[in-house]
Structures are given as C-alpha cells and as structure tokens.
Structure 1
Amino acid sequence: MSGNTRKNVFIIHGTGGHPKENWFPWLKEQLEPMGCKVIIPQFPTPENQTPETWFKVLDRYRGEYTPETILVAHSLGSAFALRILENYSVRIKAAFLVSAPIGVRPIKNWDGDQPFIGKPFDWEVIRTRAGKFVVFHSEDDPMVGIGNGIELAKNLGAEFVRLPNAGHFNAKAGYTKFELLLEKIKELV
C-alpha cells in the first residue's frame, strides 16, 4: 500500500503523558493488524509543554499527515489536536477527541493548559479539516468538566459520546482498553 492511501493513526497524549500509558498501546495493537500505521509521539511534558514545542515534535512526522490520517487525542492532547487542525491545511479522515479541555471550567490543570487553550479556537477552520469528528467525555471526569465536551461537540457539529462513569478515560479510571473508541475507528478503516 502506498504512503498516500494507508491510514495513519496519530495518538496524542496529554499532560504528563507518554506513548505507553492508558489505552494507547492496546489501541495500537488492535489497529496495526488492520493495516494502520500507528504513530504515538512523545511530547515534552510537563516541562516545556507548549504548542510550539509540541509542533516541533509533530513536524518530524509531517509526511505521514495525509488525507487518510486519523487523529486520536486524549486530554490536553485533544486541545493540541485542535491546534493541529487549525495549522495544518490537510483535510484528514477523522478526529477522535477524548476528555478535551477547551476552556470551560472546571479544568483541574487550568494554568498549565493555558498555552493550548488560552486563545480562542478557530472553529470555522477546524470544522473543514476533518471528515468526521467524535467527542468522548465522561460525566464524572475529575480533570476536565463535561461542559468542555458538550461545547466542543457543539462547536464541531460532532458526534458526542457521553458516558456516565468513565472518569478521565485513563488507566486510573480503568481504561487500559477502550473498546467503544476502537469500534468508532473501525468504521473508517
């Protein structure tokens, strides 16, 4: 399969995150046998955590960012995914945004998230940069209030998956696998 037609799935971690946490390795193991190339960059965090330093890391993979790309992002990684969609002019296949902080309080890491969420998002541009958006948020997320998910889904015209007891969709909340996310991605690969 040529590089232009193969589905590339980028998984973007959040604050303090890394490629081996939560459901990321499991999702990679599920998608690779389906022919997906799964890329999970390590971004600087929490030190030097800015959109600029994260773009420097992501730019190494610019050739892999194609119309067949699927973005999967967790927590602050979802806010960064929105900045990617603002800045990279490629229209991708889909974006799956999990527990995204977009500036609606409460957000536990409000100050640390400001470099990513402090300026308004260009929703008009972002909406044109992916064929499909799916937003996941839990009603009991202790890190990012559900108002963020509600507002994000509204701003994107996205499918909104609201779950009652998923916490922050991380290992602490029991999320070392994420079957529902996988099912949604499988619809596109």
Structure 2
Amino acid sequence: MSRQILFIHGAGHKDQSLGSGKLISYLQKQLGSDYEVLAPDMPDPEHPTYQTWGGQIEQELGKLDTDALLVGHSLGGSMLLKYLAQGTYQRPIAGLFLVAVPYWEKQGWQLEYAVPDDFASRLPPIRHIFLYHSRSDENVPFSSLRRYQEKLPQATIRVLDGKEHSFTEGLPLLAQDIKQSSSRV
C-alpha cells in the first residue's frame, strides 16, 4: 500500500508556469509508486481566502490514512499551518514539509493568513517538521524562514542557495526528506 502525501499548492492555479504543479509532478516522479501524492485544486486560487481553503483542507485531511505526510507550498503552506493550529485536527502527522512559506504579520489584509502567536503549541503531534527556503527567494522574504525557525525550533531547516520559489525544476532535498522521514515511522 502506498503512503499518502497531501500537497497544498500555492496561490494561483497550480498548472500556471510558476504554479506548484511542476513541483507536484516532480515529487510524484521522484517518489514513485510507494507514494500517492494527492494535490487537490484549492477553491478560487486566484482569490484565496482562509475560510474556503481551510474548509477544503479539512475535507482533504479527513480522507487521509493515519500518520499522514503533508506538504505546503508558499501560501498553501500558510493555510495548512493555520488550519493545523486551530487545534481541531488531532491525528498524528508523520511529516510536515513547508516550502517557501510566508510568515504573515498580523496587520491589515495579512491578518487572514497569519497564524496565532502560540501556533506551535496548538499543533497536533507531528513527528518530523521540515522548512525549505531559498536565500534570495524573490516572492517570499528569507526572514519568513527565520520567524518560523524561532517558533518551531524542533524543525529541520533547509536553506537553499539561489532565488527559487516555485521549484519548477524540482526540489531533491524535499523528495529525499520525505523518503527518509517516512521510513523512520
């Protein structure tokens, strides 16, 4: 039986040239038949709201086996983390992999996407947490990684050289970490 991975894509349609679709395809190819990468289309991706995305995330999590592997890319990672911090999902998570995720400040329009200050204490049991970010990401400032690192000191940090955000050519470390962390379950 294959391991399930729920991948929550970033804002915009995942199949756009800089959308999450190429990273999703890369993972499917690299992980092979031992894994099933589930990458649902999120509602109204050009105008994402936490209310609609949170509801979709809840539905998708309800379909998963226990000890799920979760990947969030960019805004999708923000939405996934905020949902998990609500405290309603309490099933153990084998791995949480956050790629180029913005850390939203609690002001103005960003408030909708911001996690609570104490979000880390509200998360369900998560065996492995990985954070990936390019030093010169042109879409999400590198300081976002540092903010998450402060709040999630148990996370494994993967600082990547370059300015990649969408990882259209793939992210080998992500595939490697998924394989290694799921083999340690």
- Normalising by structure 1, we get a TM-score of 0.80
Partner AA of 1:116 in structure 2:
Y
Of 165, 177, 185, the match for 1:184: 177
Cα shift at 1:32: 4.1
Paired position in structure 2 for 1:155: 151
How far apart in 2 are the matches of 1:8 and 1:130? 15
Alpha-carbon offset, residue 118 of structure 1: 6.7
SS at 1:131 equivalent: strand
Tell me what 2:7 maps to. Answer: 11
1:106-157 CA-to-partner distances (Å, cap 9, x unmatched) read: xxxx97654212754522112x431111101111011111111011122112
SS at match of 1:78: helix
Root mean square deviation, CA, Å:
2.4
Once residues 176 and 51 of structure 1 are traced to their aligned partners in structure 2, the CA distance between those partners, rounded to angstroms, is 29
* Distance across 2 between alignment mates of 1:111 and 1:26: 36
Instruction: Give structure 2 stretches of 5+ with no counterpart.
Output: none
The corresponding residue for 1:124 is 121
| Runs (4+) off by over 6 Å | none
Count of matched residue positions in the alignment of Structure 1 and Structure 2: 174
The structure in which a higher percent of residues are strand is 2
Out of 136, 139, 153, the residue aligned to residue 135 of structure 2 is 139
Once residues 90 and 125 of structure 1 are traced to their aligned partners in structure 2, the CA distance between those partners, rounded to angstroms, is 13
One-letter code aligned to 1:188: S
State the identity %.
23
Task: Give the AA of the match of 2:98.
Answer: L
In structure 2, relative to structure 1, the CA distance for the partners of 1:41 and 1:135 (3 Å cut) is same
- The answer on whether the counterparts of 2:128 and 2:181 sit within 8 Å (CA) in structure 1 is no
